[in-house]
Structure 1
Amino acid sequence: MEWEADAKDIKAAGAELLPDGRKGLRIHGWEIESSNRSCLTSLNLQSWEEKLETSHLPEMIFGDSSLVLKHVTSGTKIHFNAFDALVGWKKERLPPVEVPAAAQWKFRSKPFEQIILDYDYTFTTPYAGSEAVETSRGVDSEGNGCLKWEESEEQINVAALASKEPILFYDEVILYEDELADNGVSLLTVKVRVMPSCWFLLLRFWLRVDGVLMRLRDTRVVCNFNENTKPVILRDISWRESTFKALASKGYPSDCASYNDPNVISQRLPIVQHKIQKLKVPDML
């Protein structure tokens, strides 16, 4: 999605666009950059299959697309990419969703071979983002125990996010997508917006297996700007899920056309998991 920020609003907020044609913003010690690239080439796809030890991957993987948010002073880096998300899919190893018409599905990738759906072909991932500490000595992806998410009682102030602040930067990055052989959709995206007072992002995995199941896994992350202290970063993770049959029993429509927009139907899906976390940020470096 193309986004044109208002230059006056950016200057008034003490922010600046990233140089060298990069897409993003510097503001209050943060450097926020998004990148939308094309799908993986067949050669790169083969490399991913070897690294992930699988021959099953989504139809469209935007392997070089990413969103990176780095707090320069502390070295705190939060980033989102397809590879780490698929690592999560591989580790979770959910059983395949039972589909009555599975036997009639089109062959997924090899037209002359019967493909047995004995893996999680929905590519559902528990991925909620990646984090690292970047210092002058290099990248510490584990953070040596000083960069980790801890359970929190704090809530993300949704009302504040809805205030009429100017949006200094906005982008949506698709990480991967699969149309489930024309029987639904599996989609992982991350959206970010930056305002004068904070940045906010939504990582969303959306699954619809037509006539069978819907699954929504949302990760919301927010950071309010504060010049003189370590950044406070909150993360709200909610997983929702329901079968078409269960929704129909509550009087909701059972046709697939009613469920094209996850924003519209998210409140209809019951919560199966919810947690709020705060990122423990290391001392200033």
Structure 2
Amino acid sequence: MMTHGFKSSKQDFTFGPWQVTAVKTHIMKSKDIERLAEEMHMPSLPEMLFGDNVLRIQHSDSFGIQFNAIDALKCVNNLQDSVKVACAQEWQETRADSEHSKEVVKRYDWTYTTDYKGTLLGDNLKFKVTTTDDRIDMEKLKAREQIMFFEDVLLFEDELHDHGVSMVSVKIRVMPTSFFVLMRFFLRVDGVLIRTNDTRLYHETGTNYMLREFSTRESKIANLKNVPPAFYTDPNEIQQYLPMKLLQCEKLEFPDKESESEMTEPERT
């Protein structure tokens, strides 16, 4: 297993009413991972689980959104195998030997596919989430704008017992008048399939909402014969060759402080 030789870091960046916090620290200890696996009723969790890593975007009024590994894993469907491959049975049997799963190996999604889109923050004030036809203007994002802050936070990674890779990471870049987040789940099961679940989040200064797009792209490797194999390991390159299976667009509207105060103040006649 590869080791990440970096020191723990916590970075804060203030952007208008927003504070961006990026925490990068060490892999969870195996005993903590085992305890968490039991709590989540999963036979095992990713080999490299960064349980304390987080990317948080919080407004001065306390509402916001954050991305972390534990919540991402809670969105894994742990009741079914999502990918049937020749190696899956053998792979599960090897995992069954580990001391914390002596009972019959439960069926579960051993690829850790997650449709996590972030965790909304705020007690009284939270984003109002609605579906929308509005789309993030990707052309605008291609414009060369000064990047005031950039961070890339890995949440988890697993080499699927040398049969591929499953990983989730989240990146943010802050420009003078906007910020953009890409959280990507990337799955490659060698000889079988490649899948990405992407969550894109965009906010432009002067608007009272963020746009959030969630997309799933997937292809069997048999259908990627014309694609250079080197691209199979590069999520950015392979992306354009994977057919879109799902697209959900949402507007995250800022909470209305006035309506909250109306609820707490007596009505005047």
TM-score, normalisation: structure 2: 0.84
Q: Does the alignment pair 1:95 with 2:81?
A: yes
Q: Does the alignment pair 1:107 with 2:94?
A: yes
Shift of the 147–119 alpha-carbon distance from structure 1 to 2, 3 Å rule, reads same
Q: Does the alignment pair 1:32 with 2:14?
A: no
Query: Contact 1:96/1:117 (CA < 8 Å) preserved in 2?
Result: no
Query: Contact 1:107/1:114 (CA < 8 Å) preserved in 2?
Result: no
Helix, strand or coil: the match of 2:76? helix
Q: Give 1:117 shift.
A: 7.5
Instruction: Measure, in 2, the Cα distance between the counterparts of 1:117 and 1:98.
Output: 15
Instruction: Measure, in 2, the Cα distance between the counterparts of 1:183 and 1:171.
Output: 29
Query: Contact 1:108/1:115 (CA < 8 Å) preserved in 2?
Result: no
Of 221, 231, 238, which aligns to 2:201? Answer: 221
Instruction: Measure, in 2, the Cα distance between the counterparts of 1:237 and 1:156.
Output: 11
Helix, strand or coil: the match of 2:75? helix
Question: Pairwise mapping of residues 74-93 of structure 1 onto structure 2 (< 5 A)?
Answer: 75-90=62-77, 93=79
Gaps (5+ residues) in structure 1?
2-20, 134-138
Query: Contact 1:82/1:176 (CA < 8 Å) preserved in 2?
Result: yes
Instruction: Measure, in 2, the Cα distance between the counterparts of 1:190 and 1:161.
Output: 17
Q: Deviations over 1:133-184 (max 9, x none)?
A: 2xxxxx35xx5xx633211111111122122211111111111110000110
Q: Give 1:268 shift.
A: 0.9
Q: Give 1:114 shift.
A: 11
More off after superposition, 62-71 vs 238-247: 238-247
Equivalent residue number for residue 154 of structure 1 = 134
Question: Pairwise mapping of residues 77-226 of structure 1 onto structure 2 (< 5 A)?
Answer: 77-90=64-77, 93-105=79-91, 107-108=94-95, 110=97, 118-133=107-122, 139-140=123-124, 147-226=127-206
Equivalent residue number for residue 4 of structure 1 = none
Equivalent residue number for residue 279 of structure 1 = 252
Helix, strand or coil: the match of 2:161? helix
Query: Contact 1:39/1:60 (CA < 8 Å) preserved in 2?
Result: yes
Helix, strand or coil: the match of 1:48? helix
Shift of the 22–58 alpha-carbon distance from structure 1 to 2, 3 Å rule, reads closer
Q: Does the alignment pair 1:43 with 2:31?
A: yes
Higher relative contact order (CA 8 A, sep 6+): 1
Of 213, 222, 233, which aligns to 2:210? Answer: 233
Query: Contact 2:96/2:105 (CA < 8 Å) preserved in 1?
Result: no
Gaps (5+ residues) in structure 2?
259-269
Number of residue-to-residue matches in the alignment? 248
Equivalent residue number for residue 14 of structure 1 = none
Q: Give 1:107 shift.
A: 2.0
Instruction: Measure, in 2, the Cα distance between the counterparts of 1:181 and 1:167.
Output: 38
Tell me which amino acid in the other structure corresponds to 1:284. K
Tell me which amino acid in the other structure corresponds to 2:109. D
Q: Does the alignment pair 1:69 with 2:57?
A: yes
Shift of the 64–111 alpha-carbon distance from structure 1 to 2, 3 Å rule, reads closer
Shift of the 157–50 alpha-carbon distance from structure 1 to 2, 3 Å rule, reads same
Query: Contact 1:175/1:189 (CA < 8 Å) preserved in 2?
Result: yes
Instruction: Measure, in 2, the Cα distance between the counterparts of 1:206 and 1:102.
Output: 18
More off after superposition, 40-49 vs 175-184: 40-49
Tell me which amino acid in the other structure corresponds to 2:19. E
Shift of the 246–94 alpha-carbon distance from structure 1 to 2, 3 Å rule, reads farther
Instruction: Measure, in 2, the Cα distance between the counterparts of 1:182 and 1:61.
Output: 17
The sequence identity of aligned pairs, in percent, is: 36
Q: Give 1:82 shift.
A: 0.6
TM-score, normalisation: structure 1: 0.79
Q: Give 1:104 shift.
A: 4.9
Equivalent residue number for residue 52 of structure 1 = 40
RMSD: 2.5
